[in-house]
Every structure is written in structure tokens, then in C-alpha cells.
Amino acid sequence: MAATEVEPTSDKAVVTKVDPAEVPSAAWGWSGESRRTFQVAAVVVIIILLGMLKGNHHGKVEDLYLIGFAAALAILVVRDILLRRKPR
């Protein structure tokens, strides 16, 4: 076997949904995404966007964009939470 080839794992203790031959880091449990981390990051971004409403701008167009992006992000977070709870 060449040094660049990946050996398939035979360890049954590793629980992952991806093939370690395709994603070598899956054998150590580093594959996938953390939904909770993305949700917390989205809430932080929503708070930051809404915090930008207080500023030295005079027009309301900026406020509409900030509120719109924050609302869109909030809808995505709520949708993700609801879809995660629904049994497949």
C-alpha cells in the first residue's frame, strides 16, 4: 500500500455516517457538523445585526436591511430546530 492510500478502519467503536476511506478524519470522529455551534453562532450574528440598529445613520434603508437579514437568519435557525425534532 502506498503512503498516500487510506486504510479502511476496522474499529467498530467509531460511530460516523461517512466512509473513512473518503474522509480520513472520520475515523477519529472529526467529521460532520455541529448544529448547536452553528445555531449559537447564528444567534450571536442576529444580536450583532440588531445591535447595529443604533448608530449614526439617518436613513431607514439600512435599518430595513439589518432587520431583514436578522429575520432571515432567525427563520433559518427556527427551521433547523424544527426539522431536527421531526422524526424521519
The pTM is what?
0.63
Lowest average pLDDT, out of 5-9, 13-17, 21-25, goes to 13-17
Per-residue pLDDT of 22-70, as tens digits, reads: 766 666 666 566 788 899 999 999 999 999 999 888 888 999 999 999 9
- For residue 15, give every residue at least 6 positions away whose Cβ sits within 8 Å of its Cβ, in sequence order, or none: 29
What grid cell was written down for 88? 424521519
Q: What is the CA radius of gyration of the chain?
A: 21
